[in-house]
Amino acid sequence: MTEMTPLGTLILVIPDVPEELDAGLVRPDTIREERPESGIVKATGQLIGESRIEVGSRVVFPPYAGHDYRLDGKLLKVLDASEVYGVIHDA
């Protein structure tokens, strides 16, 4: 298995699967409303420092933030920590 370590303030996120309609069809991006996306942090750069972004955290980010990247056939997102809106915590 290939690993990737982000540099600086970058983070590597496994994006959540898109919502499906009742019939099992995935909504095309062209008709989806603009709303934040979320995912699980897989790795962080060494300059993340005092932020609360940690490996395993669920984060929320804008729909067009970062860059999509495929590693071993899996879709990942490379984001700068400043693009993250926040971390989701279980209550």
Supply the CATH number for residue 64's domain. 2.30.33.40
Residue 24 lies in a domain: no
Residue 3 lies in a domain: no
Please tell me the predicted confidence (pLDDT) of residue 35: 72
For residue 64, give both structure tokens: 């067009």
- What total of structural domains would you count in the chain? 1
Q: Give pLDDT tens digits for 20-74.
A: 555 666 666 655 566 779 999 999 999 887 778 999 999 999 988 999 999 999 9
State the residue range of the domain holding 67.
Answer: 10-17+30-88
- The CA distances from residue 10 to 19, 21, 28, 30, 89, in Å, are 26, 33, 28, 28, 21
pTM as predicted: 0.79
Residue 1 lies in a domain: no
Residue 42 lies in a domain: yes
